[in-house]
Structure 1
Amino acid sequence: MLVPCPNCGPREFTEFSYGGETNARPKPNAPVEKLAKYLYVRRNASGPQQEWWYHRAGCRSWFLARRDTVANTFLGSYWPDDARRER
């Protein structure tokens, strides 16, 4: 399977480390329950989801990718700053 690194282009998945799905970080003064949910609860949705990936055997950069978890295919990748502008 090829992972589309926004810096290096498509590379074999063995070069990458999965960082998990993205979720909003709670504020510093948030209740403990919100912090626990942030740390331990994942949606694990079927279909497209946004995930963190690290290119450990290449450019050594963290980036975001959209991946369809049903078909296990990548729909694209981008830098975190680009994701903020899209919202």
Structure 2
Amino acid sequence: MSGIIEWGALGQVVLVGLLVGAGVPALFALGLRLLTLPVGAGVVEAGGTHDGEAAGAQDGAAPGLARRLGGYLCLALCVGAIATGLAFLVSGGH
């Protein structure tokens, strides 16, 4: 401890704040991105026709199994982080 500021505690707060404040939303965004189709797969952009048909149109197309599992895993980790935070707060954690 040097003077008024406890540098170790401040470092822990900043680290946890970065992980939770930026990491969980980034994980959520990655999960959503994995669950969506790549650009051009079943999506018609403005004026994006090719010989009268939609460019890359695929009716009922879905992401592959690995992408879906990765997306669901990311979203499950987000739900787990939220549940852990709520449980910590409800238990009176400091």
More strand per residue: 1 or 2? 1
Choose 1 or 2 for highest CA Rg. 2
Q: TM-score, normalised by structure 1?
A: 0.27
More helix per residue: 1 or 2? 2
Q: TM-score, normalised by structure 2?
A: 0.26
